[in-house]
Structure 1
Amino acid sequence: MGFRFHNMISNTKQILKIHSSLNRNQQKSVPKGHIAVYVGDEEMKRHVVPLSFLRHPSFLDLLHRAEEEFEYNHPMGGLTIPCSEQIFNDLTARLS
Protein backbone atom coordinates (compact mmCIF):
# COMPACT_ATOMS: atom_id res chain seq x y z
CA MET A 1 0.00 0.00 0.00
CA GLY A 2 2.80 2.43 0.91
CA PHE A 3 4.55 1.80 -2.40
CA ARG A 4 1.35 2.43 -4.37
CA PHE A 5 0.72 5.65 -2.42
CA HIS A 6 4.31 6.77 -3.09
CA ASN A 7 3.78 6.11 -6.82
CA MET A 8 0.57 8.15 -6.78
CA ILE A 9 2.40 11.05 -5.10
CA SER A 10 5.20 10.83 -7.70
CA ASN A 11 2.64 10.72 -10.50
CA THR A 12 0.81 13.71 -9.05
CA LYS A 13 4.07 15.66 -8.86
CA GLN A 14 4.77 14.80 -12.50
CA ILE A 15 1.27 15.95 -13.50
CA LEU A 16 1.77 19.20 -11.57
CA LYS A 17 5.07 19.76 -13.39
CA ILE A 18 3.32 19.24 -16.75
CA HIS A 19 0.51 21.52 -15.64
CA SER A 20 2.94 24.29 -14.68
CA SER A 21 4.53 24.16 -18.12
CA LEU A 22 1.25 24.98 -19.90
CA ASN A 23 1.14 28.30 -21.73
CA ARG A 24 1.12 31.47 -19.63
CA ASN A 25 -2.41 32.57 -20.59
CA GLN A 26 -3.91 29.40 -19.23
CA GLN A 27 -1.82 29.59 -16.06
CA LYS A 28 -3.04 33.11 -15.28
CA SER A 29 -6.57 31.82 -14.94
CA VAL A 30 -5.53 29.38 -12.19
CA PRO A 31 -5.00 31.05 -8.81
CA LYS A 32 -1.89 30.22 -6.82
CA GLY A 33 -2.46 27.09 -4.71
CA HIS A 34 -4.94 25.61 -7.18
CA ILE A 35 -4.86 23.27 -10.16
CA ALA A 36 -7.08 23.01 -13.23
CA VAL A 37 -8.59 19.59 -13.89
CA TYR A 38 -10.80 18.37 -16.70
CA VAL A 39 -13.75 16.26 -15.62
CA GLY A 40 -16.40 14.32 -17.49
CA ASP A 41 -17.35 11.07 -19.10
CA GLU A 42 -17.85 12.46 -22.60
CA GLU A 43 -17.70 16.26 -22.58
CA MET A 44 -14.77 17.45 -20.48
CA LYS A 45 -15.34 20.55 -18.35
CA ARG A 46 -12.53 22.52 -16.73
CA HIS A 47 -12.61 22.95 -12.95
CA VAL A 48 -10.14 24.73 -10.68
CA VAL A 49 -9.58 23.04 -7.31
CA PRO A 50 -7.28 23.73 -4.34
CA LEU A 51 -4.04 21.73 -4.24
CA SER A 52 -5.04 20.57 -0.75
CA PHE A 53 -7.62 18.28 -2.41
CA LEU A 54 -4.73 16.21 -3.78
CA ARG A 55 -4.08 14.87 -0.27
CA HIS A 56 -7.64 13.71 0.43
CA PRO A 57 -8.22 9.92 0.10
CA SER A 58 -11.39 10.35 -2.01
CA PHE A 59 -9.62 12.68 -4.44
CA LEU A 60 -6.62 10.34 -4.53
CA ASP A 61 -9.02 7.58 -5.59
CA LEU A 62 -10.08 9.70 -8.56
CA LEU A 63 -6.42 10.32 -9.40
CA HIS A 64 -5.78 6.58 -9.26
CA ARG A 65 -8.65 6.02 -11.72
CA ALA A 66 -7.16 8.69 -13.98
CA GLU A 67 -3.77 6.97 -13.78
CA GLU A 68 -5.32 3.62 -14.77
CA GLU A 69 -7.21 5.11 -17.69
CA PHE A 70 -4.82 7.73 -19.08
CA GLU A 71 -1.41 7.00 -17.51
CA TYR A 72 0.52 10.19 -18.43
CA ASN A 73 -1.30 10.86 -21.69
CA HIS A 74 -4.01 13.30 -20.61
CA PRO A 75 -5.98 14.22 -23.75
CA MET A 76 -6.98 17.72 -22.57
CA GLY A 77 -3.39 18.83 -21.93
CA GLY A 78 -4.01 18.96 -18.19
CA LEU A 79 -5.05 16.56 -15.49
CA THR A 80 -8.08 14.62 -16.78
CA ILE A 81 -10.36 12.83 -14.33
CA PRO A 82 -12.63 10.15 -15.84
CA CYS A 83 -15.82 10.46 -13.79
CA SER A 84 -19.15 12.15 -14.19
CA GLU A 85 -19.27 15.83 -13.41
CA GLN A 86 -21.99 15.17 -10.82
CA ILE A 87 -19.73 12.78 -8.86
CA PHE A 88 -16.88 15.28 -9.05
CA ASN A 89 -19.09 18.17 -7.90
CA ASP A 90 -20.44 16.10 -4.98
CA LEU A 91 -16.92 15.18 -3.90
CA THR A 92 -15.54 18.71 -4.13
CA ALA A 93 -18.56 20.07 -2.24
CA ARG A 94 -17.81 17.64 0.63
CA LEU A 95 -14.11 18.58 0.61
CA SER A 96 -14.75 22.33 0.66
Structure 2
Amino acid sequence: MGFHLPGIVNAKQILQRAHVGAESKNVPKGYFSVYVGEIQKKRFVVPISYLKNPAFQTLLSQAEEEFGFDHPMGGLTIPCTEEAFINLSCYLNSP
Protein backbone atom coordinates (compact mmCIF):
# COMPACT_ATOMS: atom_id res chain seq x y z
CA MET A 1 0.00 0.00 0.00
CA GLY A 2 1.45 3.38 -1.01
CA PHE A 3 0.67 6.94 -0.20
CA HIS A 4 0.40 10.04 -2.36
CA LEU A 5 2.10 13.37 -1.70
CA PRO A 6 0.22 15.82 -3.95
CA GLY A 7 2.48 18.79 -3.21
CA ILE A 8 5.67 16.97 -4.19
CA VAL A 9 4.11 15.31 -7.24
CA ASN A 10 2.75 18.67 -8.41
CA ALA A 11 6.17 20.26 -7.87
CA LYS A 12 7.81 17.56 -9.99
CA GLN A 13 5.29 18.18 -12.78
CA ILE A 14 6.03 21.90 -12.68
CA LEU A 15 9.78 21.30 -12.85
CA GLN A 16 9.50 18.82 -15.71
CA ARG A 17 7.65 21.40 -17.76
CA ALA A 18 9.85 24.30 -16.68
CA HIS A 19 13.19 22.60 -17.38
CA VAL A 20 13.06 23.15 -21.10
CA GLY A 21 15.38 25.49 -22.95
CA ALA A 22 19.01 26.48 -23.10
CA GLU A 23 19.07 27.99 -19.60
CA SER A 24 18.58 24.55 -18.01
CA LYS A 25 22.00 23.46 -19.32
CA ASN A 26 23.68 25.91 -16.95
CA VAL A 27 22.06 24.40 -13.86
CA PRO A 28 24.07 21.88 -11.84
CA LYS A 29 22.58 18.50 -11.01
CA GLY A 30 20.38 18.72 -7.93
CA TYR A 31 19.32 22.31 -8.62
CA PHE A 32 16.76 24.15 -10.75
CA SER A 33 16.36 27.71 -11.94
CA VAL A 34 13.62 30.14 -10.99
CA TYR A 35 12.87 33.68 -12.12
CA VAL A 36 11.78 36.12 -9.43
CA GLY A 37 10.75 39.75 -9.48
CA GLU A 38 7.86 42.02 -10.17
CA ILE A 39 9.05 43.97 -13.21
CA GLN A 40 12.62 42.87 -13.90
CA LYS A 41 12.97 39.11 -13.45
CA LYS A 42 16.16 37.85 -11.83
CA ARG A 43 17.32 34.25 -12.23
CA PHE A 44 18.16 32.18 -9.15
CA VAL A 45 19.49 28.63 -9.06
CA VAL A 46 18.15 26.81 -6.01
CA PRO A 47 18.52 23.29 -4.62
CA ILE A 48 15.83 20.72 -5.32
CA SER A 49 15.53 20.22 -1.54
CA TYR A 50 13.42 23.42 -1.51
CA LEU A 51 10.60 21.35 -3.02
CA LYS A 52 10.03 19.60 0.31
CA ASN A 53 9.32 22.85 2.15
CA PRO A 54 5.64 23.84 2.54
CA ALA A 55 6.45 27.56 2.14
CA PHE A 56 8.13 26.90 -1.21
CA GLN A 57 5.28 24.62 -2.28
CA THR A 58 2.93 27.53 -1.62
CA LEU A 59 5.00 29.68 -3.98
CA LEU A 60 4.83 26.94 -6.60
CA SER A 61 1.05 26.81 -6.30
CA GLN A 62 0.87 30.59 -6.72
CA ALA A 63 3.16 30.34 -9.75
CA GLU A 64 0.90 27.71 -11.29
CA GLU A 65 -2.19 29.85 -10.70
CA GLU A 66 -0.62 33.02 -12.07
CA PHE A 67 1.54 31.73 -14.93
CA GLY A 68 0.40 28.17 -15.63
CA PHE A 69 2.99 25.70 -16.87
CA ASP A 70 4.24 27.73 -19.84
CA HIS A 71 7.56 29.32 -18.82
CA PRO A 72 9.10 30.96 -21.90
CA MET A 73 12.22 32.05 -20.00
CA GLY A 74 13.30 28.42 -19.54
CA GLY A 75 12.79 28.36 -15.79
CA LEU A 76 10.03 28.60 -13.29
CA THR A 77 8.62 32.12 -12.69
CA ILE A 78 7.81 32.81 -9.04
CA PRO A 79 5.22 35.55 -8.32
CA CYS A 80 6.89 37.43 -5.48
CA THR A 81 9.39 40.21 -4.92
CA GLU A 82 13.09 39.49 -5.12
CA GLU A 83 13.48 40.54 -1.48
CA ALA A 84 10.76 38.12 -0.31
CA PHE A 85 12.37 35.26 -2.26
CA ILE A 86 15.82 36.02 -0.81
CA ASN A 87 14.33 36.05 2.71
CA LEU A 88 12.67 32.68 2.05
CA SER A 89 15.92 31.26 0.65
CA CYS A 90 17.83 32.41 3.74
CA TYR A 91 15.19 30.76 5.94
CA LEU A 92 15.36 27.52 3.95
CA ASN A 93 19.19 27.48 4.09
CA SER A 94 19.38 28.04 7.86
CA PRO A 95 20.00 24.96 10.01
Is the pair's TM-score, using the shorter chain for normalization, greater than 0.5? yes
Aligned pair count?
A: 90
The residue aligned with 1:13 is 12
CA contact (8 A) 2:20 2:75 kept: no
Q: Which has the higher contact order (CA 8 A, sep 6+)?
A: 2
Stretches of structure 1 lacking an aligned partner (at least 5 in a row): none
Counterpart-to-counterpart distance in 2, 1:40 and 1:15: 19
Where in structure 2 are the equivalents of 1:4-83 lying within 5 Å?
Answer: 6=6, 8-23=7-22, 26-83=23-80
3-state DSSP of counterpart to 2:43: strand
Bigger fraction of residues in helix: 1
**Cα gap change, 1:66/1:43 in structure 2, threshold over 3 Å: closer, same or farther?**
same
The residue aligned with 2:89 is 92
| Poorly superposed stretches of 4+, deviation over 4 Å | none
Stretches of structure 2 lacking an aligned partner (at least 5 in a row): none
Deviation at 1:16, TM superposition (A): 2.0
Deviation at 1:28, TM superposition (A): 3.5
Counterpart-to-counterpart distance in 2, 1:72 and 1:27: 16
3-state DSSP of counterpart to 1:88: helix
Query: Percent of aligned positions with the same letter in both sequences?
Result: 50
Task: State the Cα deviation string for residues 17-61 of structure 1 (Å, max 9, x = none).
Answer: 2344323xx334211100000001111000000000011011111
Deviation at 1:71, TM superposition (A): 1.4
Return the letter of the residue paired with 1:21: V
